[in-house]
Amino acid sequence: MTRNSLFILLLFLLFFPLSSWAAILYLEPSSSGYYQGDTFLVDVRIDTQGECINTVEAELSFTNNILEIKDFSQGNSLLSLWTKEPEFSNETGLVSFSGGIPGGYCGELAGDPGKSNLLGRIIFQVYKSPLMNKPINTRVEFSENSYVLLHDGLGTKASLITKGALLSILSGIPELPRQEWQELLKGDTIIPESFLIILERNPVVFEGKYFITFSTTDKQTGIAHYEVQEGEKEWKRADSPYLLEEQGLSDTIRVKAIDKSGNEYVAEYVPAAGKIKPLFYWIISLIILVGAGLIWLKKKKQRKDSTLPHDEPAQENHYEENKW
Amino acid sequence: MKKWLNLFLIISILSSVLFILAFSFDSAQAQSGVPVSAKVLGVCGNGIHEIEEECDDGVNNGQYGYCKNDCSGLGPRCGDGIIQSGDGEECDDSNTNSGDGCSSTCLIEPPPETPPGLPYPREPVTKVILQGKAYPYASVFTLKDGNIVATARADSLAVFKIEINNLTGGAYTFGLRAEDKAGRKSITFSLTVTVSSGMTVVIGDILIPPTIELEKSQLEKGELLHVSGQTSPQSEISLYIKSLDTEKTIINKVKADQMGDWTFSFNTSLLNEDSYSIKASALSPEGLVSSFSHALEFVIGEKVIVPEFCSRADFNKDGKVNLVDFSILLYWWGKYDVCVDQNNDGIVDLIDFSILMYWWTG
């Protein structure tokens, strides 16, 4: 092949890339400027580019001597089930989470009046440091441990492109730092979405003992945690699935979903055994009473029979044969 | 001569690239992103008078004197012939003229000594309406963020309409699935949409994916593959048969009858001995397009399909794939269980979770 031909071939390969579809994990805002002390939110979003996916595992890194993570909000997330609750470490400079969408997510619906592709929100705060006396840039990036699975019944890994964010830390410390998260918390007065408690027993889970399962979402600041109460016992923090302490199912079970702003939704479950117990006792008591009554009546009749005059039993006539 | 050679090379490369791009485009369509017809028809509450609406007064919808909450017409107002005493009306003679005993603001003439009270504030209503087609008389289940919240029945023409209330406002994923007359369950078809507080979002042109069933999942080469299911009446079914080894796909089409029943017999002599998957999508006579049905596997030849202990992620075998199965998966997370490990790779992890998401019924 001549040099010219090779050049032409390379030119076409450049202008006609044979790239196929890929999902995109990205951050919003992709670039912005902040001052020391500012608290701000970075949204983690997904663009499936028309493909259907149902599971996301994301891990991001940040510069932990410039930024610290104050919290992570699952509020209004596309992921309604979480296999790994969001966790972050300011020591390692990493934040990660994983979860899925039952039934899948195939991208933006035509005519959607809003953006419905939020996975989660990272709440950052810029450190205040005398060393930061000139503007600096820092990046928040997806690590190569991030991946997305297709909604194909096989859990196939999707081709993935990730786009991080470039944050400019400006010099100076403002009198009133930005407080995006604090404002969101103050403005959130809406309780989490309603949900039901499901009581179950399965031989392969908790050795066949009774457990409950529950899950809900919060469309504003996100679920902070759940608490469970059995009967009149103390509320205690819990995750689903939760093994019941009271296996006799005699107590009402309550689950409280609390969002980051402190709003609560309480779901209640009265076990069928608990419902039946009083009725069961009533029936048993009734049977005992009726039975006792019948026995008493029978004995009364027997006593009555024993006091009546008796007829002499008829004598047998014996005839001796005259012996002739 | 060199010039002609270069020109020939350019044309060959260009043709190859265009051919490959065209083929890739077709494959991508076949794999997944069938452009479905479902879309937001209108947003009641955005202040824009859209085609499906009679009126839309934005945030004032539902308030006295403005459009109704669902944009189906004018709401309570002076001149509607009904006395809304909670909104300060003392009379309503079906007009807004004064001097006829009832003033233009629905007050008994002469004007009262005390001014009328403020209009009674109505609670904002946030809801979603889902409408479209399933199969004739099918049960249609609606999920909100994975949980069943409503059930409806499609009519004889497979039309359904479902209203979801008690929403607070935010991004919701609504799942729709149907059960046909033979009890076959469709895949759960999901739509994610943002619903703002006080608004009604109407999502229409939905066509629920068809149900699909194979008579056999292991066949001899040359044996007929019988596949059947149900969809909306007289829809066109496109069947995608894909080799799991080569990923090559064959597309066949068949038309459903008046009851939406469809059946297709495929001559497997055209296929090599291999493992295959088959799935269907539907196109209704009105132009509604569904996404794909479940993909079912079959084998031609002697390859034995490994029996699944808990097929289709129904770990507790209650006929549903829901939160309970998710809980069982979480219990076995990172460990091994022959039932929960759906892809048989020796560990319960995100891949098994993804398979659970695929078979989710709520």
Q: For chain B, what are the domain ranges?
A: 39-46+124-207, 50-123, 311-359
Local confidence band at A235 (pLDDT 50, 70, 90 cut-offs): very high
Helix H or strand E segment including A280: helix A272-307
Q: What is the DSSP string of A221-255?
A: S-EEEEEEEETTSPPEEE-SSEE-S-TT--S-EEE
The 10s digit of each residue's pLDDT in A111-150 is 998 999 999 999 999 998 866 778 899 999 999 999 999 9
pLDDT at A65 over 80: yes
Question: Which of B37, B296, B327 is the best substitution to test chain A (most A C-beta atoms within 10 A)?
Answer: B327
The 10s digit of each residue's pLDDT in B150-179 is 999 999 999 999 999 989 889 999 999 999
A83 touches chain B (CB under 8 A): yes
Burial, B51: exposed, middle or buried (Cβ in 10 Å; 0-12, 13-18, 19+)? Answer: exposed
pLDDT at A319 over 50: no
**What residues in B contact A103, CB-CB < 8 Å?**
143, 146, 173, 175, 188-190, 357, 360
Residue A247 in tokens: 């296996």
| A111 contacts B175? CB cut-off 8 A | no
Residues A280 and A265 in one domain: no
Residue B282 in tokens: 């539907």
Residues A168 and A233 in one domain: no
Burial, A223: exposed, middle or buried (Cβ in 10 Å; 0-12, 13-18, 19+)? Answer: buried
Preceding peptide of A241 cis, ω within 30°? yes
Residues A95 and A130 in one domain: yes
Preceding peptide of A29 cis, ω within 30°? yes
Alpha-carbon distance A79 to A75, whole Å? 10
Average pLDDT over chain A reads 87
Domain B311-359 -> CATH class: mainly alpha
CA distance A195 to chain B (A): 9
Number of domains in chain A: 3
Residues A74 and A178 in one domain: yes
CA-to-CA separations, A199 to A38, A236, B302, B310, B355, in angstroms, rounded: 45, 18, 44, 21, 24
Residues A140 and A266 in one domain: no
Alpha-carbon distance A40 to A255, whole Å? 32
Computed over its alpha carbons, how large is the radius of gyration of chain A? 37
Quick one: pLDDT at residue A320?
43
Pairing between β-strand A160-163 and β-strand A205-213 as defined by DSSP bridges: unpaired
Average pLDDT over residues A45-57: 95
Residues A181 and A38 in one domain: yes
Asked if residue A4 is part of any domain, the answer here is no
Residue B122 has what DSSP assignment?
P
Local confidence band at B331 (pLDDT 50, 70, 90 cut-offs): very high
Interface of A with B in 143-182 (CB under 8 A): 149-155
Quick one: pLDDT at residue B211?
97
**Which of B309, B358, B297 lies closest to B336 in space, CA to CA?**
B309
Residues A103 and A160 in one domain: yes
Residues A133 and A29 in one domain: yes
**Which of B253, B206, B204, B256 lies closest to B230 in space, CA to CA?**
B256
| A105 contacts B358? CB cut-off 8 A | no
Average pLDDT over chain B reads 85
Local confidence band at A299 (pLDDT 50, 70, 90 cut-offs): confident
| A55 contacts B353? CB cut-off 8 A | yes
Quick one: pLDDT at residue A276?
53
Asked if residue A306 is part of any domain, the answer here is no
pLDDT at B88 over 80: yes
Interface size between A and B, measured as CB pairs under 8 A: 215
Please give the model's pTM, rounded to 2 decimal places.
0.79
CA distance B219 to chain A (A): 22
- The CATH number of the domain holding residue A96 is 2.60.40.680
CA distance A254 to chain B (A): 18
Measured from the Cβ of residue A301, the count of other Cβ atoms closer than 10 Å reads: 10
Quick one: pLDDT at residue A195?
94
Query: Which region among A177-191, A310-324, B67-81 has the lowest average model confidence (pLDDT)?
Result: A310-324
**Which of B187, B173, B134, B153 lies closest to B361 in space, CA to CA?**
B187
Shortest CA distance from A220: residue in chain B: B170
Residues A143 and A289 in one domain: no
Q: Reduced to 3 states, what is the DSSP secondary structure of residue A272?
A: helix
Query: Which region among A6-10, A115-119, A289-293, B306-310 has the lowest average model confidence (pLDDT)?
Result: A6-10
Average pLDDT over residues A54-77: 96
**What residues in B contact A2, CB-CB < 8 Å?**
2, 5-6
**What residues in A contact B331, CB-CB < 8 Å?**
204-206, 241
Quick one: pLDDT at residue A13?
53
Interface of A with B in 113-132 (CB under 8 A): 113-118
Residues B197 and B225: beta-carbon distance below 8 Å: no
CA distance A127 to chain B (A): 32
Asked if residue A263 is part of any domain, the answer here is yes
Local confidence band at B305 (pLDDT 50, 70, 90 cut-offs): low
**Which of B56, B40, B59 lies closest to B124 in space, CA to CA?**
B59
Asked if residue A82 is part of any domain, the answer here is yes
pLDDT at B196 over 50: yes
Closest by Cβ to A104, choosing from B10, B190, B327: B190
Residues A166 and A209 in one domain: no
Quick one: pLDDT at residue B56?
87
Residues A56 and A152 in one domain: yes
Give me the phi and psi of A188, to 5 degrees please.
-90, 110
Quick one: pLDDT at residue B21?
47
Asked if residue A42 is part of any domain, the answer here is yes
Residue B56 in tokens: 């839309």
**Which of A131, A117, A61 lies closest to A90 in space, CA to CA?**
A61
Quick one: pLDDT at residue A6?
61
**Residue listed under structure tokens 């595992």:** A57
Query: Which region among A10-19, B223-232, B269-278 has the lowest average model confidence (pLDDT)?
Result: A10-19
Average pLDDT over residues A95-109: 96
Residue B300 in tokens: 């031609």
Residues A68 and A124: beta-carbon distance below 8 Å: yes
Shortest CA distance from A189: residue in chain B: B168
Go through A50-72 and write b for each residue having 16 or more CB atoms within 10 A of its CB, e for each that does not.
bbbbbbbbbbbbbbbebbbbebb
| A5 contacts B5? CB cut-off 8 A | yes
CA-to-CA separations, B322 to A62, A102, B316, in angstroms, rounded: 36, 9, 10
Quick one: pLDDT at residue A140?
97
- The CATH number of the domain holding residue A240 is 2.60.40
Residues A228 and A169 in one domain: no
pLDDT at A40 over 80: yes
Shortest CA distance from B149: residue in chain A: A195
Query: Which region among A10-14, A26-30, A46-50, A319-323 has the lowest average model confidence (pLDDT)?
Result: A319-323
Percent of chain B with pLDDT over 90: 54
Quick one: pLDDT at residue B252?
95
Domain housing A252: 198-270
Quick one: pLDDT at residue A35?
94
A187 touches chain B (CB under 8 A): no
Asked if residue A287 is part of any domain, the answer here is yes
Alpha-carbon distance A79 to B357, whole Å? 11
Local confidence band at B125 (pLDDT 50, 70, 90 cut-offs): confident
Quick one: pLDDT at residue B34?
58
ipTM above threshold 0.85: no
Q: Which of A186, A206, A233 finishes a domain?
A: A186
| B27 vs B84, higher pLDDT | B84
Domain B39-46+124-207 -> CATH class: mainly beta
Local confidence band at B29 (pLDDT 50, 70, 90 cut-offs): very low
